[in-house]
Amino acid sequence: MRFSPSFLDDIRDRVPISDVIGKRVTWERRKTNVSRGDYWACCPFHGEKTPSFHCEDRKGRYHCFGCGVSGDHFRFLTDLEGLSFPEAVQQIAEMAGVPMPQPDPEAERRDKERTSLLDVMELATQFFEDQLQAANGARARAYLRERGLTGRTIETFRLGYAPDSRNALKEFLAGKGAGKEQIEACGLVVHGPDIPVSYDRFRDRIMFPILSAREKAIAFGGRAMAADAPAKYLNSNETELFHKGNVLFNFARARRAAQGADGADTIIAVEGYMDVIALHQAGIENAVAPLGTALTENQLELLWKMTPQPVLCFDGDGAGLRAANRAIDLALPHLKPGRSVRFALLPDGKDPDDLVRHDGREPFDKVLANARSLAEMVWLREVQGGSFDTPEKRAELEARLRQVTSAIADESVRRHYGQDMRDRLNAFLQASAPFRGDRRPFERGGRDRGSPRGFGQRSAPGPTLISDRLARTSLVSGLQTAPLLRESVLALTIVNHPQLLFDEYDEISTIEFEHRDLQRCWAAVLNAAAASGPRLTREALVEQLQADGFGQLVAQLDQQVRYARLWTATAAAAPEDAREGYLQALTLHRRTKALNWQKRELEREIAEAAASEDVEQGQRLVRAMEEVQLELHRMDKLEAIIEGFGVLSGRVKGPAAR
């Protein structure tokens, strides 16, 4: 019996792959992270004593680092238990509580029709590709070259050209045996009772094939070459194959990039075809785009099927911020534990294509590194540009925040959002309380002592970072060439507890260090991990680092953390304490870096606004600076977590470190 792709996808989504495999293996408790759906066990396909068999619920895949087997729910049952494919499907369907599909002659007929329509779409794709390389495609080729696209990129995305003709495609398809009904059903021609002769829908346009999850062409997007064309971008109309709100451009390729051996951290949703293609050419293959419209609920669900926390990337102009606000309202009702979104806002007037065309991926990577959480976006949307100098206005803000968070359907997430908003509101009001009677309007040329660039508002005092405070102690002040203490903690914990790297690889492998020698050392750590896999031991890693010339640096890191009494980074710490301390330090490290980057950018913008005497913009920027300062203060209060996390459970692996 033939099963539809939608049926197979449905039952796979309903049953975590760990439920299928867990009946046949025993999970290694120490390495498994149930909350993240990340499981390890001894491989059932070959005998071993050390667990190297790994499965992830998020990806619905398993892989053994020992013997190399990999697959999905059905492959596991067919390979391990010798079931036929239909038998494996039936077993998963029973676990999902979904009845097996009954033979349906009408459904089979429609399936055959869909297959024939896909064949027609493939012929159309080939036609457009050939036309791009023909003489009449010269202008389109020149445009793509001007946009910086290479021949390989054009080939990868199968870009093409629709000639400026009313019947070129129609005649080509008819010559290949495609019937009139099929051509019309694919949406390739404009037809109707009031149109005597159908004609090609796409004319004089660069063509972008839109692929299904199974990488079959199901629709097209066309970019007009003529400046006076009625629509710059034109998509296929809705057909049996194509429903615009249920499809993401580059979905299959991005999913493959996220699920590969070198999988990306997340999926990035950008606004247009060219953004996706430019990012791919720059090495960022995990980007998708909606099809010329605002993100839909179904498209958001597609993103969540690929990653628990996609990044929504919007232009930094007014239109981009409005789109971001619509996405906030779209996402809030559907949040669940472990499922959210982040927002990356581009510099005003720039799109991803602009950022990567000349300088490569680094500028875009910086934008992603500063992506904001959904909670932060909700808060900023409600407070930016507002005045809360009266009790009534503050009460109104509180009511709005309560109303926004009430849209969250999941009770647990709604409760935590409510608490987060109350915490932000309290910190905001407490910080502004000392200055309520002291804020005066901006006066040209006037400056408050301590006010940024002459704007008549005082900012909260600057933060004292954990690394700054500890670096000033007499114990570590002599280490002039040492990395920041937090960076030393992060690197040394992995050296002493390399298993953490495999347990939390997605989070840990992307750390960026400021210290140059530590950057080089970290690259050597990752190379050693890639070469040895989960069997890597501390002793083997230290030996390799010494061979690579980093022995003195590792010794310096060890001395630095011992002076600061951060015992969870040492070899003597118990694995549980090392993990807890590491994740806390990593969270603070990343958040503080992002906040300090925001602070520097705001300082620059405030200076520009003051120079141009833009009062309104300057006051907005000062309010934004206060928000960043408040958040840095909050991070500063968490310093005790770092300074005290050496005493968590009191467990050590061996003799106490001295």
* 105-242 CATH, one of 3.40.640.10, 3.90.980.10, 3.40.190.10, 3.40.1260.10: 3.90.980.10
Tokens of 311: 């990044």
Q: Could you tell me the fold of the domain covering 245-437?
A: Dna Topoisomerase Vi A Subunit; Chain: A, domain 2 (3.40.1360)
* pLDDT mean across residues, the chain: 81
Instruction: Say if CB 477 and CB 485 are below 8 A apart.
Output: no
* Residue whose tokens read 């290479």: 150
Pair 513, 491: CB distance under 8 Å: yes
The pLDDT of residue 433 is: 53
pLDDT digits (tens, 9 = 90+) for 603-639: 877 877 777 777 777 777 788 888 777 776 666 555 4
> How far apart (Å, rounded) are the C-alpha atoms in residues 168 and 207?
15
In the chain, ranges of CATH 3.90.580.10 domains: 5-96
Using a 10 angstrom Cβ sphere, with 0-12 exposed, 13-18 middle and 19 or more buried, the burial of residue 206 is buried
Token pair, residue 334, equals: 């559907």
CATH 3.90.980.10 segments of the chain: 105-242
User: Would you state the pLDDT for residue 523?
Assistant: 82
Burial (0-12, 13-18, 19+ Cβ within 10 Å), 271: buried
CATH 3.40.1360.10 domain residues, the chain? 245-437
User: How crowded is residue 340: how many other Cβ atoms within 10 Å of its Cβ?
Assistant: 18
410 half-sphere exposure, CB direction, 13 A CA radius: 13
Instruction: Give the Cα separation of 38 and 634 in Å (integer).
Output: 31
225-256 tens-digit pLDDT: 998 888 889 999 999 889 888 899 999 899 88
Average pLDDT over residues 116-132: 94
pLDDT band at 111 (very low <50, low <70, confident <90, very high): low
The C-alpha atoms of residue 617 and residue 624 are separated, in whole angstroms, by 11
Q: How far apart are CA 100 and CA 307, in angstroms?
A: 28
pLDDT value of position 154: 96
Residue 432 confidence (pLDDT) above 90: no
pLDDT: which is higher, 249 or 50: 249
- Give CA torsion, residues 582, 588, 589, 595, to 10 deg: 170
- Classify domain 5-96 by CATH architecture: Alpha-Beta Complex (3.90)
Supply 400's token pair. 């709005």
| Residues 443/456, Cβ–Cβ less than 8 Å | yes
In this structure, are residues 340 and 417 in contact, taking their beta carbons and an 8 Å threshold? no
Helices 297-306 and 251-259, packing angle to 10 deg: 30
For the four alpha carbons of 372, 376, 381 and 384, in that order, the dihedral sign comes to negative
pLDDT at residue 114, as a whole number: 65
The stretch 459-464 carries a mean pLDDT of 36
What per-residue confidence (pLDDT) applies to 264?
60
DSSP 78-118: HHHH---HHHHHHHHHHHHT-PPPPP-HHHHHHHHHHHHHH
Contact 273, 208 (CB under 8 A): yes
Strand partners, 223: 206, 233
Look at residue 21 and tell me whether its pLDDT is greater than 60: yes
pLDDT more than 70, % of the chain: 84
Residue 260 — pLDDT band, cuts 50, 70, 90? low
Least confident of 96-105, 274-283, 428-437, 603-612: 428-437
Tokens of 284: 């960022």
Q: What is the pLDDT of residue 39?
A: 93
